[in-house]
Amino acid sequence: MKLSSIVETASLTLLVLILSLTPISLHAGNKTADVLVNIVQGKIEGVDTLRYNQNEKVAITINSDKPMELHVHGYDITLNLKANELAILEFDAVTAGRFAVTQHDAHGGDSHGAIFYIEIYPE
């Protein structure tokens, strides 16, 4: 087996492992912690609150089994999710508080309660 295919197999195994253990904190090199969130039928799997310190970089990898528009309240960020395609929600946590991340319907309105929350603690 060539080294390149061993590496490919290893990264695929790692990805599958990550997806099965969501959400989880990851440490890739000296990069700050990254989090993977898995949404199944509009509901988050595992813990529903992600915590950060103010001025930290928020970087959340999100997978959903259904297409949807996510809305981070307070920061007013929207993210379009395609079914089973990883998307990254990234922003600087400049404002402290507890922010709901909701799903929007086709008209842009909140169609459900929060899927998860992002808490940002003041410095």
Task: List residues binding Cu ion (CB under 5 A).
Answer: 71, 102, 110
Q: What's the min distance (Å) between Cβ of 68 and Cu ion? A: 12
- Residue recorded with tokens 């259904």: 66
In contact, 103 and 80? CB cutoff 8 Å: no
Q: What's the min distance (Å) between Cβ of 110 and Cu ion? A: 4
Q: How far apart are CA 64 and CA 37, in angstroms?
A: 8
Q: What's the min distance (Å) between Cβ of 71 and Cu ion? A: 3
Q: Which is nearer to Cu ion, 34 or 102 (CB)?
A: 102
Q: Which is nearer to Cu ion, 3 or 106 (CB)?
A: 106
Q: What's the min distance (Å) between Cβ of 58 and Cu ion? A: 17
Q: Which is nearer to Cu ion, 19 or 117 (CB)?
A: 117
Q: How far apart are CA 40 and CA 92, in angstroms?
A: 26
Q: How far apart are CA 110 and CA 92, in angstroms?
A: 24
Strand order in the sheet with 68-72: 49-53, 110-121, 97-104, 68-72, 77-81
Q: Which is nearer to Cu ion, 26 or 69 (CB)?
A: 69
